[in-house]
Chain A
């Protein structure tokens, strides 16, 4: 295998090395974030159909109580992040720029915020199908950012099998340290989560992948491993975008996920370490996810840190609480490589958001630099983790030659990691072109008979 030629820890080929910038928050323990006066909870925080509300306006709810139920298999529940009263069910802004339906919940100021208990899903006696239903009922989605319902990727067809379960503790995105803190503080939850996942998938082997810049987390998880858990910790070389499922599978197992297929097609399953920890934390009590850990960071933030924050906390309240530089000019949901710029302060923290990063003019001044023509330097070709030619694709995109991009140059394999834009010395917004091109191709294909 190729990895034998490389000395040192395993990794995938190509990729980039952005500055890590994690040292400011990686040592800060997770703290509880207070409740906002009004929580705004979109009904669609996952890929698939929005959840269907099971509460009505004016109803009083307890923290942890189910607010909405899944609509079909590719959908998950929503739970009340706080005890309070449902003020309104209506439209609210979402990260995509569209207005979506959601629940406005007003927490009771004096409440003890006791969490409602549900029906436990005991590890020893539950069947795989019961665990899958319990995960769906708990409202779990990939907490790494994809927002794909976790239970949906655990459901195997009869002809599918999983031999290796990969727990993704890579966290290759600059600035973010939530997974790092979760690994340090929720070790036992992670082990319990792994047991649930092994039972569902039948995987015999578990590998926890952690990049070499988190040696304390790797050591901590290794030291506490129960003797009967067939899991190991693998340290990976630091490189972006190693946290992407396909890259991680290649780095750790040397397998390539075929174009257009899923990890399951190479008998592997990836689960984010925070998602695993939530499975281990919630299922034994039958609870649903109503809060998550995020990193609030960036040069414009005053009280940087890792917080366990109620789902639905509006950005406005969040920024007021941590304090931001008045010169802040850009706020992203997520980290700087793949995060989405916030268009409104009324956006809420949803399940898939692992951080909030705020920049001032000083960090964004480079965007004022002029765009040059492509000089065919090939940096993007060396960076692309799936071996596309972003330079050629970019040239075609400028002529809106989207069909040729998709048919001849594998456009649809691009997963928008942004490595090409990151290295481009001509400052061509390559990945932006590809997003536009991909959505155009998708629309055209959907419209085709």
Chain B
């Protein structure tokens, strides 16, 4: 035929694709996090904003520099480093010294992701690796919180934020306790409604359960998040702590309080669901969520720390490959229903 002006391409089927792409999934996670991020910036003012910005930039920059040093094409365009950075920033106390934020960002990408081979190869959620190392290295700054809605938060920075690297940050007169530590160490309960709205102190982005859930619903609606993981976590946390509360209401907090306090919603919706470090099958995801939920309650109730979501998820990540090994769907034509005439 004379009209053909091009060489025919030879490719194997399928010749059409669904349109899902790694970069668009990652970008949508960023979009889903925006409401909670903006709220965190509003609640914690300049300090919260700087924490998130420095966290995100340090992760993206680390990813870029590591790629360049390995003479590979930079992979920051796939948005995964931005997701890690943003999540990492949201888990940090807003008054954390910025040099620690930047250091942790480098740890997230370097130790959490790049040394395993980059995107897709990391066994743990990189954001939580960074956070866990900060928690171990700098326990005091990582558990010192500035109050929410401080009067002058848009014009004033806590002195700790701009502390020089390797100096002990100063915390004088502005600290506040989180609802979980109030509950654990002082037996003071906080109203669950206040918690759900996020009117309390805590990490930069963990405070508003409602906005975080909103982001989660968006991702589930776009089929970019496995809903089984957060649902399973919530159910187990609620049931487990509910049983404890029934047994002794004085010693154990109410299940509702457990659900909406601390980093549970942020962790369950955005961290445990990180595709790379979670199981792949539906049943596997339910088990994984149940395990994380149980560990959260154990750490919170009996552990030495008021909060345990990050460690619970890291433990879940460690188990995920084993869940995938043992929980496999029955291949068509090999199961019990094989050949059964009904």
Find chain A residues with CB under 8 A from B339 CB. 255-258, 261, 265-266
CB-CB contacts of A418-435 with B at 8 A, as 1s and 0s? 100111111101011001
B304 at the interface (CB under 8 A from A): no
**Smallest Cβ-Cβ distance to A382: which chain B residue:** B282
B1 at the interface (CB under 8 A from A): yes
Find chain B residues with CB under 8 A from A382 CB. 282
Q: Looking at the complex, which of A43-51, A71-79, A177-185, A364-372 is the stretch in contact with chain B?
A: A364-372
A89 at the interface (CB under 8 A from B): no
B119 and A320 contact, CB distance less than 8 A: no
Complex CA distance for A331 and B14, rounded to whole angstroms: 13
A340 at the interface (CB under 8 A from B): yes
Complex CA distance for A256 and B330, rounded to whole angstroms: 12
What size tier do the contact residues of chain A reach? 35 or more
Residue among B14, B18, B25, B333 with the highest chain A CB neighbour number at 10 A: B14
CB distance from A342 to the nearest CB of B (A): 7
**Smallest Cβ-Cβ distance to A435: which chain B residue:** B12
Find chain B residues with CB under 8 A from A265 CB. 339
Residue among B78, B118, B277 with the highest chain A CB neighbour number at 10 A: B78
How many chain B residues touch A (CB < 8 A): the figure is: 54
A385 and B332 contact, CB distance less than 8 A: yes
Q: Which of B276, B338, B342 contacts A1 (CB 8 A)?
A: B342
B3 and A324 contact, CB distance less than 8 A: yes
B333 and A259 contact, CB distance less than 8 A: yes
**Consensus secondary structure, chain B interface:** loop
B155 at the interface (CB under 8 A from A): no
Find chain A residues with CB under 8 A from B281 CB. 378, 381, 389
A343 and B8 contact, CB distance less than 8 A: yes
Given contacts A327-B5, A341-B9, contact A423 B341 (CB under 8 A): no
A16 at the interface (CB under 8 A from B): yes
B332 and A326 contact, CB distance less than 8 A: no
B13 at the interface (CB under 8 A from A): yes
Find chain B residues with CB under 8 A from A342 CB. 8
B332 and A174 contact, CB distance less than 8 A: no
Find chain B residues with CB under 8 A from A373 CB. 117-121
**A 304-337 contacts with B by CB, 8 A:** 316, 319-320, 324, 326-332, 334, 336-337
B1 and A386 contact, CB distance less than 8 A: no
Given contacts A327-B5, A376-B276, A426-B22, contact A255 B12 (CB under 8 A): no
**B 12-67 contacts with A by CB, 8 A:** 12-25
- Known pairs A341-B12, A376-B277 / 14 extra A-B pairs, C-beta < 8 Å: A259-B331, A259-B338, A326-B3, A328-B8, A329-B8, A329-B9, A336-B13, A336-B15, A338-B13, A376-B280, A389-B329, A425-B21, A425-B24, A426-B120
A-B contact pairs, 21 of them (CB 8 A): A163-B341, A250-B332, A253-B341, A256-B332, A259-B332, A261-B339, A324-B1, A326-B6, A328-B6, A329-B8, A336-B14, A337-B14, A337-B16, A343-B10, A345-B1, A373-B117, A373-B118, A373-B121, A376-B120, A410-B331, A422-B16
Interface set of B (CB-CB < 8 Å, partner A): 1, 3-25, 78, 117-121, 226, 275-282, 324, 328-335, 337-342
Interface set of A (CB-CB < 8 Å, partner B): 1, 16, 18-19, 163, 174, 246, 250, 253-261, 265-267, 316, 319-320, 324, 326-332, 334, 336-343, 345, 357, 359, 363-364, 366-367, 369, 372-379, 381-382, 385-389, 391-392, 410, 413, 416, 418, 421-427, 429, 431-432, 435
